[in-house]
Structure 1
Amino acid sequence: MLAAMPDSAPSPLSAGGPSPRDGGDACPGTLRLHRADDGALARVRVPGGVLSADRADALLAVARRFGDGELHLTSRGNVQLRGLDAECGGGPAELLGAAGLLPSVAHERARNIMASPLAGLDGSPSVSRWSSELDGLVCGSAAAAALSGRFLFALDAGLGDVDALGADVTLIAEGGGCLLRVGAADEVFRLPAADGPRAALLAAEAFLRAARDSGAWRVKDLPDDVRAALVRTIGASVGPVVRRPRPRTAKAPAPGPVTAPPESGTTATAAATVTAISVGVPLGRLAPAQWRLLTETARRYGNELRLTPWRGIVIPGPFGRTGQAGPTGQTSRSGHAAEALGTLATAGLITGPDSPWTGVGACIGHPGCAKSLSDVRAEAGAAVGPVGRLPVYWSGCERRCGHPHGEWIDVVVTPEGHRISHVRGEHRDPRAAVRDDPAALAAAVAEARA
């Protein structure tokens, strides 16, 4: 049984460093909306990224009744609704609450829980029990209501996919048990799988105590000595320590194993049973017809959609064995999966790794954001070309909202033009600067990605 963790020794903020809380936690939620140039914005937390078809219907109903009708996927597997009327009041929250998407008013922005989207579908362990239990523990903790909208939990099925994304507290399935990682530390703590969600909550509560003096929103914002003390405090209460470097998200000259997001297409077990189909969403934006099609597909096969941190959607099956023929020669369930992917591709979704949209991302840009210097979504679409080795992310200003992790090509609009850089973790290698020439910009991005 895990014991409550003692307070970490308080420590002043590093000399001269501003508190991350000085500007306030501006992360939007369902109740606290963000004012954007295209209307108010709501962010709906979807712990583990898992939606039933009925809850997906409820999200679309809110988007159409109160917003612009579109649904935007975030880099944490959540959903944003844009273009909301500033006078919509509590209408969205009422509908989302009735659908079970708002179980706690006090904790609605603290329910940031990412999970491996293929967990339990590709031979890896399921983390669904962890997700539901951790969400319940967070909502039941008075202290956890103070977590910022930026604090992030990750539940990794042992694949390394979400472990690579820089969460504050990560649980990793391993050998029937689990590992607990705090921040980016290479040292992880081994404990029984059943104790994982409780340990994750206790680690988050310990972070809040450690952050009282510094005002940090996230583990990485803590002063170095406070962060080290926090890890020691958690380790003393959790279990034995082992060394496991955090995975990387692309090939780069750095330690640690390499991992990647799931490819679009079908997922099958070693026995050739198709267990899921996966699609990517260009720029994370779904029109109502696309969302309805995804929801109808989920309802037909397994009644579940899993939103991924890479702005994609996994629909679990079952879809039968690859190549299996029906008793009268009709299309097998695996054939149904191919048919579904074909329909989704016709609707404009990414259904295979050869799509030119693979690895292309962008912030909302102009005109949705007042700070953006350009319509980067239109520019990204105009520059789409051959699939590159590296992902590319377009940002309308230096804030780089929603940018990826690991290694990528960074395109940022500045008053002087578009600056293109190769990013590897904390290292940035400037590659080019292009001004007012769409053809040259597309060529420079393609060259950088290759």
Structure 2
Amino acid sequence: MVAQIVKAAGRTGRAPLLILGAFERVGSNWVSDQLRASMQQHNEPFRQQLGVEHPLSALNPRPDSELTALNRHHLACALHDLHGSERHAVKETNLFFASRSVTGLLPESPVLVLTRAPLGIASSFERGGLWQRWAYAERYLGLARTARTPRWRDWSPLLPLDDPQPPVALARMIAVNALLLAEALRADLAGCGRPLAHLPYERHVSAPEDVRSGLARFLGVPVAAPSGMPKRGDGGDFDTSRPKSELVAELPASSAALVHHHVATSLARATAIVDAATVKTASHWLAGDDEYELREPYERTRRRVAVPMQAGSRLPSVGYRRSGLSPVTWRNLLISNLEMAATAEESTPCGFPPGGQELDAAAEALPAPTTATGRANTSGPQATTPTSTPTVFFTTAPGHRAAADRAGEENEGTGVPGHAASQRLLGDA
């Protein structure tokens, strides 16, 4: 299915940069902020903007189900739009069982893998109350159900249905996502595929200038210091305008011990599921707990947040409201890609052209989204001509393709050689 969609996309232009997270809270906001002036960005289109029922949604409990014909057409058009004369960036975290499909949809895209030590991730969840706010208990149950479908049943021992405590469930999910991503990128990590760089969060804190210069060399675009996302509350985890200078994990000692133990246990059990190289890569990505200073958490003043919807809750009804005296009405819910596809399916018997030409023309007339939290930001200055200097501050696996495949790509700035995939960032050469 993936190969057919890629072929139907008829891609022209440069493949987008794939920014992939080994989990949530790995510094992706920092990276996005630094690249915002250089390239258009698409924030988690496969995870947030596909309906739960979509086979390529990371929330779908049956990711091996089939797409309808119009869904395939819609996805092919979306892939085509991601390739342009200027490189775009597509950021995805927590793809889980959709990792292989999503990376397969963009086979020529250079990859930037963002990682963070599990204690740092758990601390961020603790600080922001993210386990409850983002309904991660339900997410764990959904992943466990997926791991019991025929295609993925080998993974069920890593996601047991034993009513785990939040630190235990979080540790298991961190390990599973890192393993699935490492498996999906196995050929690239071995230096036999696309260009790939690894950026640990800890390096972003300890040497931000080196990270920016390394990003510029890898991508061939200017990388600016973060201008800052809008400040929230005490300027905590989502604020990129305040640089961090220390690595602190604010966790109860008991929770920290559970996270560390269950990540290690999951990685050990994975040797029966994936090859040793994949386990080694995931272990490398999830190293660094010892770099954090453990502190007891303290109560913070939090802004009021929406309560996450629980399983079985009644979905809100779609409605429209008028704003002031304007004739424009606003819908109260976002329109998902699945709804768009369903609308087009229902319109076909009424004479809607199967190729979707009128829909494409209408879409082209709409202004591009520009908000920091939307699908894309306006593109900034034209990329500078990349150099052939090796990527010094990133763990990279250089691409090896036939000369014919490399023709016309001399100035893309992502095929430069770098350190071997087994090396850590800076100081391991």
**Structure having the larger proportion of residues in helix:** 2
User: What's the TM-score bracket when you normalise by the shorter of the two chains?
Assistant: under 0.3
Choose between structure 1 and 2: higher strand proportion.
1
TM-score w.r.t. structure 1 length?
0.23
| TM score, norm. by length of structure 2 | 0.24
